[in-house]
Amino acid sequence: MKTHIFKRPTFSTTSKAKGFTLLEMLIVLIILLVLASITMPMLQSAILARQLEKSVENVRDQLTKTRLRAIDSGRIYAFYYEPEGTNYLVIPYEPDELESLSSSNQTAAASGTVYGAQHAGALAEGQRFLQQLDEGRSEVARLPKEWLSSLENGFELAQKNFASPILFYPDGSATEAQLEIVDDKKQKIRLNLRELTGAVTVSDIEGESLN
């Protein structure tokens, strides 16, 4: 009589699934680094462009508010900015009808009777105003420290050079002007100020990093 021996089935403990090899991981890492090198400059430019747009909007807002101040108060207001710098400020201004400025104020960008700065601001880091584009309006000079005494950083601003002022009149008109603000990536935006209406328009952003 034959006896049958039953063998217990055996199961393989080895898995068919294989892990990533070191070479495969290196290839994936290289691909990720290449993608990062492509996208990071684009992302950085986009961030800087947004920062530039925000600064331009702040300047535009201040120009508009200065025009409204002039209309509401019935006085002339002056907007000063720092060519190749970041600072700008607003000063109540009146044509000098009574007397010329004293010799100590000869460095002023324009003659006038000024009643103290009321607002000062600055562009973001890495941004600056370019020279004024208008012919005959590119002269720069320091403002008398007395004009800036009401400002917290008045002493510092008194050491800066400012372009000749953009004036806003009580009838809503203003000095016709063009301003350009540029960042470290050569991206720039232009603000245009209309003489008759005092309205401010803003150009599209342009520059080398957008090409």
Own/partner contacts of 96-104, CB < 8 Å, gap of 24 or more, are 104/144
Q: Name every residue whose Cβ is closer than 8 Å to that of residue 41 and which is 6 or more positions away in sequence.
A: 209
Helix H or strand E segment including 163: strand 161-163
pLDDT higher than threshold 70 for residue 64: yes
Q: Which of 35-44, 114-123, 142-151 has the highest mean pLDDT?
A: 142-151
pLDDT of residue 100: 38
> 192-204 pLDDT, tens per residue?
999 999 999 999 9
Q: Does any domain span residue 148?
A: yes
Say which residue, 186 or 4, is predicted with more confidence. Answer: 186
Give the residue among 202, 206, 182, 181 at the shortest CA–CA distance from 192: 202
Q: Does any domain span residue 70?
A: yes
Report, as an integer, the average pLDDT of 6-23.
61
Q: List the CATH number of the domain containing 115.
A: 3.55.40.10
Report, as an integer, the average pLDDT of 156-167.
92
Report, as an integer, the average pLDDT of 27-51.
80
Q: Does any domain span residue 2?
A: no
Phi, psi of 118 (to 5 degrees): -115, -20
What residues make up the domain containing 166?
Answer: 49-210
Phi, psi of 53 (to 5 degrees): -60, -40
Indicate the number of domains in the chain: 1
Which two tokens mark 204? 């599209």
Q: Does any domain span residue 75?
A: yes
> 80-106 pLDDT, tens per residue?
999 999 999 999 887 553 233 333 344
As a whole-number percent, the residues of the chain with pLDDT over 70 amount to 75
